[in-house]
Amino acid sequence: MKRAAWLQDRRMQKFRDVLSRWERGGLSMGEAGELLGMSERQFRRYRDRYAEDGLEGLLDGRLGRPSPRRVPAKDVQLMLQLYREAYDGWNVKHFHEHLVRDHKFRWGYTFVKTQLHTAGLVERNKKRGAHRRKRERKPCEGMMLHQDGSRAAWLSGRPALDLIVTMDDATSTIYSAFLVDEEGTSSTFRALLEVFGAQGLPLSLHTDRGSHYFLTPKAGEAVDKDRLTQVGRALDRLGIEHIPAYSPEARGRSERMFGTLQDRLIKELAKQGLSEIDAANAWIREVYLPAHKARFARPAAVPETAFVAVRDTATLAETLCVQDNRVVARDNTVSWHGLTLQLPESPLRHHWVKARVRVQQYPDGPLAVFHGPRCIARYTTQGVEIVTGPTTRSVTPCSPPSRRGLPMPRPAARSERRPSLTASARGVTEPAQVGTWRNRRVTTASTSWPPRNAKGARPCPRATSMSASMCH
């Protein structure tokens, strides 16, 4: 029995009971109307109609007539057919949005939900569990970011992939979302570089306790905040607080967002016919994220922002990367995860043997070797040096093993020896002496006295004076 007919039967039965009490004189007409929830005048009308037509006179004339606002049956059938053929498995809210946007459906969400439940196409929601108080959102954007990955079959016809999402706690705005084969340190740095470069540096980052985020000495216990991972080292250097989550409820906001994404994004990607990761990431970035923000983002309680703008994006990229120290081998090479990086010759030093260098691997794959703050060389993902100018391989002249297979350096030719600065110029005769040897006066200041003998030596002045006196 329909609810309207059942309620009408109940009203008629109650009216007969109240009318019999009024007829016996137990109630006044005003009291009888008050018990029935109507005025005294309305009770009088009902009494007269009952006296003339009996129970038929009390029936509601609107019952049995179709409502002028009723949805046509053909529209209901079209809606159910669309769900079976094109939107099977979609939730009611998502399906209703597409009905309104793409098919110009004018009826409300509740009507669509009721029809789908009646047709058995959508199951009713289960009863919720115990009430839990949600954590309040941060007052302004940039105070806390959530980052997590969700593994699912995001693209039809492909194995499961990880969707890396970075969202704001205050507004639920997704700043970055892309698909990768597997979540890890590189995907984390890639997402942080996108967000920090576009928005700025936040105050804190809230993540789970994955091995690329934190080091947990013993399962189930607290993380070790003294021994940092690559991600922890980068965040600590940027001054960003890294907050670990110890339960799924602590990540409730991001977990609910992933539930929405798994329910909507998978179907949207299938509807677009996207099966390649690069094409899917481009569509997510350019089409889906703006629409998702307009649909689900909410304004912050405080309109200000806590992001700190980054002036030099290049410096940010040098921080958000994998870094590790190495010692240069005797052949001026550095080993890095199966690759051998040959260091080029540098004008700063003769060789790099036994020097402590730092190898950096960026999120997109390239490598770089640093000695202190100076970059020695850059390499591709395969370990091939990226040459920006003419360079040569570094040679170690002090170790014989390092010269094997390398060109030997040729010593430079000696230049001609320059004449002494005190030697007389060519073609210039010795100046003549004027006066005695003690009071000699020469015509050229650059010459000296006494003159040289035949062998090119000068006699001792004392010996010359003694021989002169002996001659006299």
Mean pLDDT of successive 10-residue stretches along the chain, which has 472 residues: 74 86 87 87 86 77 71 85 87 88 86 88 75 79 94 91 94 94 93 94 93 88 91 94 88 88 92 92 94 92 92 87 94 92 88 93 92 92 81 49 57 62 55 55 49 56 47 44
C-alpha–C-alpha distance, residues 5 and 387, integer Å = 87
What's the pLDDT at 437?
55
Q: Which amino acid is at 102?
A: D
- Helix or strand (DSSP H, E) at 35: helix 29-36
Q: Would the pTM count as exceeding 0.85?
A: no
CB 216 within 8 A of CB 209: yes
DSSP E strands in 372-457: the ranges are 374-379
Where b means 16+ CB within 10 Å and e means fewer, 242-266 reads bebbeeeeebebbeebbebbeebbb
Res 472: pLDDT? 44
What does the pLDDT read at residue 350? Answer: 86
Residue 14, pLDDT score: 87
Between helix 92-102 and helix 109-119 the angle, nearest 10°, is 120
Taking each helix axis from N to C terminus, what angle separates 3-23 and 40-53, rounded to the nearest 10 degrees? 100
Rounded to whole angstroms, how far apart are CA atoms 382 and 455? 73
Q: What is the pLDDT of residue 445?
A: 45
User: Hey, what are 212's tokens?
Assistant: 């690329």
Determine the pLDDT at residue 443. 47
In angstroms, rounded to a whole number, what is the distance separating the alpha carbons of residues 413 and 421? 23
Q: Which amino acid is at 168?
A: D
How distant is the alpha carbon of residue 273 from its chain centre? 26
